[in-house]
Amino acid sequence: MSTADYEIITDSASNLTDDLLNEYNIRMISYVSTIDGEEFLCHERGRDYEESGRKFYNAMRDGADVHTSLINMGAFRDFFEPILREGKDILFISISGGLSGTIQAAGIAADDLMEEYPDRVIRCIDSRSASLGEGLMVMKMSRLRAAGATLDEAVRFYEENKMKMNHIFTVGDLKYLKKGGRISAAEAAIGNLLSIKPILKADDNGKIVMHDKIRLRKKALEYLINMTKERIVHPERQIIAICHCDAKQESEYIASRLSAELPVEDVIVRYYDLCTGSHVGPGTIAIFFMGENRMEPVVSAKAHIHASIPNIAQSSGESPAAAAG
């Protein structure tokens, strides 16, 4: 693909794996996670992300203490400056400012560098997204660049369309939402006891909000399929992305359903990025696609739920009965 006169950079929360970074000629700056006191990069070239994902989410199941650090201003300066020296401008796309302070740190670094390199331009976009909701839009920016779009034209497209990127998901265990302050301890305890599976989505600030509550996992997954079918716009023009926190078999089943029931360009399945996945926990499955504005109501997917999803054991080795719950 053509690279025009600007580089596209995103953070590792965008969930883009090496194959996609290479295909779309995108650069990535990584967050740092800490597991039981040991630091490691969330993204490294050449890493087996399925293997590392399984280990990471199994560690979470076993009670590991997991934290994620912001990318600081100094790291952005070090990443951006060599590109400016090459005579290129920069388009940086970050995880939602509603979830992280990354965009503020990038913006400060960009302002400082543009004073030092007055002939260069750095545009920083708050994606109002995370995971492959962010990543799909980054891929779209690459396609626009390859088609000859200027930096300003790419930014304009992103700002005009980012609220159309839908994020819908459910989790495997409510305790991780409790840990992040999304629900109370009592709600988590009662919900897990009653096999309540929340349907969550990103709001217009990119924050996680409750959309609905469904009893039993297989019905929650059916809800996600139906909600995608109801909300998606022009499926023939887009890629649907599914991310999961070690729930590969269920995710691949959903992908097969969507591929069969919608005329999409493609459906891709990836392990959840370790940075964002740590906040939602093992068993989470999310679907990302372009559709109606993410907060506009549509006909409830609940009306179309039927118990059509078989009890698919998750890749972690759960029994079928556990996977269905």
278 within a domain of the structure (yes/no): yes
Q: What is the pTM of this model?
A: 0.88
Average pLDDT over residues 261-270: 97
- The tokens describing 111, both together, are 């302002």
- Measuring CA to CA, which residue among 62, 9, 2, 6 is closest to residue 35? 62
Q: Residues 137, 226: one domain?
A: no
Range of the domain at 182: 164-324
pLDDT at residue 321, as a whole number: 33
> Which CATH number fits the domain that encloses residue 312?
3.30.1180.10
Q: Which residues have a Cβ under 8 Å from the Cβ of 111 and sit 6 or more positions away?
A: none
What are the tens digits of pLDDT across the range 139-174? 999 999 999 999 999 999 999 999 999 999 999 988
- Rama region for 315: left / alpha / beta (φ>0; ψ in -120 to 50; rest): alpha
- Domain at 78, CATH number: 3.40.50.10170
| Averaged pLDDT for residues 269-287 | 94
Return the residue matching tokens 């201003």: 73
Do residue 151 and residue 250 come from a single domain? no
Note the pLDDT tens digit of each residue in 188-228.
Answer: 777 777 788 889 999 988 888 889 999 999 999 999 999 99
Tell me which of 318 and 85 has the higher pLDDT: 85
Please tell me whether residues 33 and 157 are part of one structural domain: yes
Specify whether 137 is located in the same domain as 207: no
Same domain, 172 and 139: no
Instruction: Look over the chain and give the mean of its residue pLDDT values, rounded to a whole number.
Output: 88
Total domain count for the chain? 2
**Helices and strands counted in the chain (H then E):** 12, 13
Q: Write out pLDDT tens, residues 291-320.
A: 988 877 765 555 554 434 344 333 334 433
Last-in-domain residue among 138, 162, 186: 162
Domain boundary, last residue among 113, 145, 162: 162
Per-residue pLDDT of 10-54, as tens digits, reads 999 999 999 999 999 999 999 999 999 999 899 999 999 899 999
Please answer whether residues 90 and 122 qualify as being in contact, where contact means their C-beta atoms are separated by less than 8 angstroms.
yes
Please enumerate in sequence order all residues whose Cβ is within 8 A of that of 159, keeping only pairs 6 or more positions apart, or say none: 125
Last residue of a domain, one of 162, 194, 212: 162
Is the residue at 14 inside a domain? yes
- Bridge-based pairing of strands 196-202 and 208-215 is antiparallel
